Structures are given as C-alpha cells and as structure tokens.
Amino acid sequence: MKKILKINIINLITLLYLELTYGLLVIGSFNHEQIFSIILYSIFISLVMTILMTVWHEKVNKIVSYIIYSIICFWYALEAVFKMFLQTYFSLDCFKLTDQAMGFAGETIKVIVTNLPYIILFFIPLIIIIILRKKINRNIDNKKYLLAYIVLIPLSFFTYKLYINSTKDKENITLYDLYYNVDNVALNIQKMGIMSSTILDIKRTIFGFDTKVVEVYKEYNNKEELNVFEKNILDLDLSDPKLNKDIKTYIEDNPGTLKNEYTSLFEGKNLIFVVAESFSEIAISEELTPTLYKLTHNSFTFDNFYVPYYLSTIGGEAQSLTGLYPNYAVLPKWKSGENSFPYGLSTVFKEKGYNTFAYHAHDGHFQNRYKYLKSLGFDNFKACTMGLDIDCSLWPESDVEMIEASLNDYIDSDKPFMTYYMTVSGHLDYDKDANSIVSKNWNIVKDLKYSDKVKSYLATQIELDKALERLMTALENKKILDDTVIVLLADHYPYGLTLNEINELSSYQRDSNFEINHNALIVYNSTIPTTNIDKVGMPIDVLPTVYNLFGIKYDARLFAGTDLLSNSEGLVILDNLSWITDQGRYNSLTSSTGNMTSEYVDHINKLIQNKIIFSKNMLLYDGYRYIKEK
C-alpha cells in the first residue's frame, strides 16, 4: 500500500507542479476557483496515472511511467511555447493550422532557444523520475490495493464534478458554463488549468460539442422604436433544408441594423482596403509616421476600436474580410476557399461595376491566401511567386515595393476600383540583424529613447507609412484622391513586443486583457470633415460599415459584426470571452461586471455565444450558399 501511495503522491505533486509552473510563467495569476479546480482534477488524474504505472510487471511499469511523463511534460512545454510565440492558447484544432508555425519556423526556434530555461522547467519531473528510477519501486505484488485505487477514480471525478456544478451562476461565465455549455479553450485553460482543458478538448474533438443559438433580442427587449431610416435587411428565403437550423434561428431573431445619415456617402468612389501586419496606434506620430497620423486624425476617427487577437494573421484577416467571428475549428475550412461568399468583398463591388484587385508582398501560397481570396471574388490576386514584381528574397518583404509594383494595375482604371492589400513589412522579429525592413529604416530610429526592440518595431511601421505616402501621392497626381476611400486596420496588435515594450510607446498604461487590443481604424476620404465616433467596435464590424458607406445592397443579419455608424450598440469580443460594450466591460477571468445589471450581462453573454455559433456554422456548413434573396 505504501508503494502505491508513494507513486500516487509523486504523480499528484508532478501535476500540481506543472500547473503551477504554467500558471506563473504564462497566465501570471491564480484565483481560488482555479486553484480548487486544478487540485481536484489533479487528484483524479494522478489516480489514473498511478493505476497505469503499477498494474503491469515492474519493467513495463517503468516504461509506461516514462512514456506518460514524457507526454505530459512535452504537452505543458508545447502549450507554453505556443503561447509565448503566437500569444494564443493551444488546442487540438491548432494542429489543422501547422503551416502557421512551420511558415515561421525560424521565429519558433528562436522563441524556444530564448525561453529554453523556462521550457526545461516543464521537463524537471521527467528528469527526476529517471534519476530516481532505482529508488521508486513499481512492483506491486498485492493487487488488491490497486482495486481500492480503481474505486477512488470515479469517486474523485464525482467530487470534481460536484465542485464544478456548485459554481453555476446565471450572470457570469463560470466553471460550470465552461464544462457544459461554452467552448472556449483560452478561458478553459485560464480558469480550469491545462490538464482539465486538454481532456475536455479531446472529448469534444472526438464526440463533438453542440451549442444552440437562443433568442436573445426578443427575450431582452421587445419595445418598438420609431425608425427614421430603413433597415439594412433583405427579403431572404431561408427555406432550404440544407441551411443549418442555428443559422436560421440567428437570422430570424436578429433585428438587423438601420441605414443612417452616412448610408451611400461613398457610393461610386474607389476603395483601397488594407489589413496591416502588426499595425498599432502606438506607432503613430506626426514626426515618424506623418501619413498614418494624417489618415487617423481626419475623416472618420474611432476612439474605441479594438482588434482582438485570434491566432495571428490568419485569424485577423479572416475576421476583417468576412465580418464573422474567427474560430480555430473552421479556419481550415476558410483557408480551403470552398465556401460560398455572395457578399464577399470583391464580389459585391464587381456587381456594382468595379474593377477589383488584391495584393500581398509575401508568398501567395502561404496559408492558401490565393484560395480564400478567390472565394471572396478576387480572381486576379498577385503576390510573391504569383506575378508581383518585387524582391521576394527579403524577409519581411517591403510594403513600399508592393505599392509601387501594383499601382499601375488600377490607377488608370476605366471604372471605379476596389483594391485590397495585406501588408507584411510590420512582421516580427523586431531585430535589425534579422529583419530587412528594420535594417533598412534603422538610421531613422536608432537615436530614439526606446529599447532596441521598440525602435525596431517603429522601423517596420515607418515602411508602412512610406508605402501609404507613395499611394496617396500617386492618387493625388492622378487627381483621384478625392474620389478614393482608404480603409485600414490591423490584423492584430504587435505580439512580437511584450506588454512593457508596448507601454513604452503607449500614451497610457495598457493591461494584458483589454487595452493591449486597443487600436486605430482608418476610414479616410479627403473631402469629408473630421467625424468622431465614440462607439466601441472591432474588425468584424468593418465590412458592414464599409458596405453601408458604399451603398452596397446587403443584409446586416448575415454578419456577426454590425455597422459602426448605425445606432446599434457597440460590442468587442475578446478571445477569452471578456467583452466591452458602450455600457461597460465584463472580465471573464475575474467575473467583474462594473455597474451593469445581471440581466444585461447575461444578455450580452448569450448574444456573444450566438455570434460565435453563427460564425462557426456559416463557415462549417457553408451557410451563405443556402440563403437566397426572394
């Protein structure tokens, strides 16, 4: 009995050590809910491990022990490296996006080498049991003791479930919600720990996890409003039996948004739509980036725009181009280019008689960009290795060269044009020896009073600024600047910088949950006066905003985002289900609700879950294909 008890205590200490190490290094804090959850689940898993390590003959028991410890230690280390490199939490769905990491293997290796002392911490339990292999006797002669441990396994799991069930709370997202109702890996890890989240992730991957759209507008607010403007909705036929039922429920419950005083303001004008790599408002200054300064301080200015981080560029670009909440599980489907997008960016402008173009300065095959842009209607996409005449031997490539190589394609267009750019010059690593753009612009920033990494980041944003300067100069020379609208937003905040480095440049102290995501949105036209927008917003709102401004015929219910210029309430959804609205903030980690009522918080939490389910199903079940206009 003492042998089994000793092995079980070692296993329990190991699990708690790994959770503690990950929590302190990656998450940075613990609360009582998280601690109890981790301890109870670790007791359950340690019992399972003990049985697996003692039920065989001694030699086999040792081999099984080494295998289990190797897998567990590796998994915790993988979770840590993934978070350190891509600033997101790892789930099984991420295996479907391995090209994201493989495409930047050099940066991945650098992260591993830089953080090697921390990574080794996760392998200490494995090293210890190898060193002490002769002192740990795994030969259990009396198997009756194993039976007692087997009985303890369901008992310990039942205790864990009792604790989970005791946390149920209508107002907040609790352990109960995460275990039964909510599929959010980031919040699972932060509130439940790695081991529990991983097992839950495996279970849902194998058996599926189905959540339903619920009616949130009808139950929360039934009052009729006097509308001066018509709604941006169409007479839709939702009768196709192939249309997912949750999609239909979401659309029928959704009131849509109203047209407004800005509807069709830019109708007939050219559009240049830019998703800028690692762009942030912290890089904007009148001296270093004068063009960005001009674009962000004129025309429409958005004080409360946020760019929540979703798995690097692929997630950021997806939400900007679809108006849907990005989901790891369906990003591979998005990348395949197999979805139907009748309201895709290029498709709707071509229907209005525009010539459309798309450009990227990096390899066009990376992430299948050439496929998913085609599904949005771009049939003339150019990139490195795909017709764009720039120096593709550099890393990262130059935004200036991309603009100069593409201008002649559309600037003399006989019809209005819509041009899309995905930039690349702002990409990490922010190091003048490893980044061609940093070394190119280093002399401009070298004497600034910032750390070298921060100066290097500024150097990459100077390249973006120069590219935009070239663009605006060319438009002005052709006398079409007044007839052109420039829309620019980031794919994500510069996660190549630490929070402290970001705060070197920030005009105020940012936190790691909300304000790290605060950013600028550019909607610029030289002919309109400066118009300040206080409403909160995020990238999924940009597409419906643009469509309203350009008089595009669309249905506001077919997007998860909403027109930022409409009278609908603003909403920002963060990756861990924290959120910001025009009324306040909800922190899912601390369950802080401020002065908002429990009814309101519950309404927004349900609304967010609906938007996430709707977005996922629209891609997973190709929803747009089965929705027709009557």
C-alpha neighbours within 13 Å on the C-beta side of residue 423? 32
Residue 495 has pLDDT above 80, yes or no: yes
Q: How large is the average pLDDT for residues 326-341? A: 88
- 263-280 pLDDT, tens digit per residue, is 999 999 999 999 999 999
pLDDT of residue 169: 83
The set of residues, in sequence order, having a beta carbon less than 8 Å from that of 133 and lying 6+ positions away, is: 62
pLDDT at 219 over 60: no
- For residues 311 and 389, which has the higher predicted lDDT (pLDDT)? 389
- Buried b or exposed e, range 436-468, using 16+ CB within 10 angstroms: bbbebbeeebeeeeeeebbbbbbbbbbbbbbbb
Task: Inform me whether the pLDDT recorded for 549 exceeds 80.
Answer: yes
Q: What is the pLDDT of residues 29-66, one digit of tens each?
A: 777 888 999 999 999 999 999 999 988 888 898 999 99
What is 582-607 written as a DSSP string? SS-EEBTTTTB-TT--HHHHHHHHHH
| Contact yes or no for 477/542 (Cβ under 8 A) | no
- Name the pTM for this structure: 0.91
pLDDT of residue 223: 47
- At 132 the three-state DSSP class reads coil
Instruction: Note whether 492 and 279 are within 8 A (CB).
Output: no
Task: Tell whether the model's pLDDT for residue 399 goes beyond 90.
Answer: yes
Instruction: Give the pLDDT confidence score for residue 121 in this predicted structure.
Output: 95
- In terms of pLDDT, which residue wins out, 497 or 112? 497
Taking alpha carbons only, the member of 24, 537, 585, 43 closest to residue 308 is 537
pLDDT for the residue numbered 1: 58
pLDDT at site 97: 62
Secondary element (H or E) of residue 420: strand 417-422
pLDDT at 171 over 80: no
Mean pLDDT in the chain? 91
Cis peptide before 93 (omega within 30 of 0): no
Residue 289 sits at φ, ψ, to 5 deg, of: -130, 70
